[in-house]
């Protein structure tokens, strides 16, 4: 799956940066020491161990280098697919040369590296892709005091007031992932402004693959380089549910923040220059139909009096993640937002203000339920039970997939369905077989074409039956 350039890049990198696993610490070797570098993190005594039975935190660098999708994120910008994307963006054919041309590089710098690499490192280090620092904060902030017992003794609050990013808390972690996997504009990095992280319809139309992010399932697939005991001990079998719930709310917050920022920008520009409404806010399949008829999409298409349906990927099943007493409020705010976004001529100031207030409300909600016991599995069971009846009407791939992911963590969390793990309703479970679900064919905007709503039935019937026997 990794493009062939990867191996080449790795060798070049190892020799130019002298990151040597198991080799001598060589912190001063890099020519670009003025920009933050992870070289110092990778010594054998720190995170660059290659001893197989060392702790994960010691092998973090090695695990990341060998298996992390983010380590190949930059080299993905040098593949044929990317060369096509880049060419379409500038409307002329740009070949990928070695080294890449200035023109090619300018597109990557402006449109891609904020997510596929680390914009703060020097040119020569970009090949490292989305490195340690995009998730953990600048290496400069991780001075020697981070292994002092004093810092450790501060416990969960030890990140406060530092430039080190807290990915230890589930919410903090989800927020970091969503910044790239959902997108973020107007980023702040200390005193500075960060580059935008956005895959808009222009990028999609140029051929960027779909961005269907769901925190819990992504984390499951993510090759972890840390030691997981603490988290598992604290939450036990409820860990998946907790990640699902917090991830759901945090991802929705990120999505609303992005929508509000897009709307605000367009409100401050003239109508001609603004990309508004931004089409990736809507359900792709409302506009891009399959040519094969009859299709499940033709029954779920958008109402003619609206531009298209707002993309409900991030918000579907969100009401199961908030407290019981908050469901009605959430649903009414969502309805208001949907109405505003789906209007044939959505009014940006109005969209921005509704999205922002819902975002702020969700931030409060997240604080309310920061303790897992408050929103126990049983609460989720009740909510899901009450909507079981409506399962047959999950006519779109987005909500069906989200429903499946929610009930999967639920059934694990409360120990139902036992060894009979939830079956998938697409012929290949998109979230288990990494890579197989990205439609490779020409129409990349399609949801998996194998989606068959009736395949949900067996699974739902079973789940319904088992839930009914619970109090």
Q: State which of positions 196-235 bind ligand HEC (CB under 6 A).
A: 197-199, 201, 203-205, 208-211, 218-219, 221-222, 225-227
Binding window for ligand HEC (CB under 6 A); candidates: 166-174, 291-299, 358-366, 453-461:
166-174
- Tell me how far, at minimum, the Cβ of 1 lies from ligand HEC, in Å: 7
State the CB neighbour count (10 A cutoff) for residue 250: 25
Structural contact between residues 116 and 197, judged by C-beta atoms closer than 8 angstroms: no
Residue 243 makes CB contacts below 8 A (sequence gap 6+) with 170, 174, 215, 216, 219, 409
Kindly tell me which of 114 and 317 has the beta carbon lying closer to ligand HEC.
Answer: 114
From the list 98-106, 133-141, 397-405, 452-460, the region that binds ligand HEC by CB under 6 A is: 133-141
Q: List binders of ligand HEC among 300-329 (CB under 6 A).
A: 307-308
Unique residue bearing structure tokens 């009014």: 347
Among 5, 78, 121, 180, binds ligand HEC (CB under 6 A): 180
Of residues 6, 59, 136, 359, which one binds ligand HEC by CB under 6 A?
136
CA–CA–CA angle 173, 178, 184 (5° rounding): 125
Q: Which of 6, 30, 47, 408 contacts ligand HEC by CB under 6 A?
A: 47
Q: CA nearest 51: which of 62, 41, 40?
A: 62
Q: Which two tokens stand for residue 131?
A: 């490195």
CB atoms within 10 A of CB 183: 24
CB of 363 to ligand HEC, least distance (A): 19
Among 20, 85, 321, 384, binds ligand HEC (CB under 6 A): 85
Residues 235-294 that bind ligand HEC (CB under 6 A): 279-280, 282, 284, 286-288
Residue number, 214 or 319, with CB nearest to ligand HEC: 214
**Min CB(187)–ligand HEC separation in Å:** 11
Q: Is 109 helix (H, G, I), strand (E, B) or coil?
A: helix
Contact between 132 and ligand HEC by CB under 6 A: the answer reads yes
134 is a contact residue toward ligand HEC (CB under 6 A): yes
Rounded CA separation 184/176 (Å): 10
Please give the Cα distance from 11 to 326 (Å, whole number).
54
CA 47 to each of CA 10, 40, 136, 225: distance values in angstroms, whole numbers, following the listed order: 18, 9, 13, 10
Site for ligand HEC in 52-71 (CB under 6 A): 57, 60-61, 64, 69-70
Decide: is 41 part of the binding site for ligand HEC (CB under 6 A).
yes
């Amino acid at each position: 799956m990794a493009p062939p350039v990867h191996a080449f890049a790795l060798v070049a990198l190892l020799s130019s940066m002298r990151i040597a696993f198991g080799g001598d610490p060589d912190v001063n070797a890099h020519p670009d020491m003025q920009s933050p570098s992870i070289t110092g993190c990778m010594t054998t005594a720190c995170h660059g161990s290659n001893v197989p039975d060392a702790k994960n935190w010691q092998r973090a660098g090695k695990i990341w280098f060998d298996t992390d999708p983010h380590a190949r994120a930059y080299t993905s910008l040098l593949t044929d697919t990317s060369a096509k994307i880049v060419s379409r963006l500038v409307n002329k054919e740009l070949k990928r040369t070695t080294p890449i041309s200035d023109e090619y590089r300018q597109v990557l710098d402006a449109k891609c590296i904020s997510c596929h690499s680390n914009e703060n490192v020097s040119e020569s280090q970009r090949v490292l892709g989305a490195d340690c620092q995009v998730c953990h904060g600048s290496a400069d902030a991780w001075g020697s005091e981070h292994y002092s017992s004093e810092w450790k003794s501060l416990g969960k609050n030890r990140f406060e007031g530092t430039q080190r990013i807290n990915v230890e808390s589930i919410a903090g972690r989800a927020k970091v992932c969503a910044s790239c996997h959902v997108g973020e504009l107007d980023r702040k990095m200390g005193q500075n402004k960060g580059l935008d992280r956005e895959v808009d319809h222009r990028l999609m139309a140029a051929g960027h693959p779909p961005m269907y992010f769901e925190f819990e399932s992504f984390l499951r697939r993510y090759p972890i380089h840390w030691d997981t005991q603490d988290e598992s001990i604290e939450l036990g079998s409820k860990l998946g549910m907790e990640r699902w719930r917090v991830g759901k709310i945090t991802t929705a917050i990120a999505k609303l923040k992005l929508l509000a920022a897009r709307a605000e920008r367009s409100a401050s520009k003239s109508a001609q220059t603004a990309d508004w409404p931004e089409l990736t806010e809507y359900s792709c399949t409302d506009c891009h139909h399959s040519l094969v008829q009859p299709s499940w999409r033709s029954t779920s298409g958008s109402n003619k009096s609206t531009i298209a349906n707002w993309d409900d990927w991030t918000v579907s099943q969100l009401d199961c993640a908030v407290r019981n007493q908050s469901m009605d409020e959430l649903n009414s705010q969502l309805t208001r937002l949907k109405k505003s976004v789906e209007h044939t001529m959505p009014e940006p100031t109005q969209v921005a203000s509704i999205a922002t207030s819902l975002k702020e409300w969700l931030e409060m909600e997240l604080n309310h339920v920061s303790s897992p016991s408050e929103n126990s599995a049983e609460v989720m069971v009740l909510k899901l039970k009450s909507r079981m009846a409506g399962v047959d009407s999950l006519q779109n791939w987005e909500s069906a997939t989200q429903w499946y992911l929610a009930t999967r963590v639920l059934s694990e969390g409360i120990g139902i369905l036992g060894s009979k793990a939830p079956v998938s309703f697409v012929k290949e479970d998109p979230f288990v077989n990494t890579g197989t679900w990205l439609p490779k064919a020409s129409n990349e905007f399609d949801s998996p074409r194998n989606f068959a709503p009736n395949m949900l039935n067996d699974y739902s019937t079973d789940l319904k039956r088992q839930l009914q026997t619970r109090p």
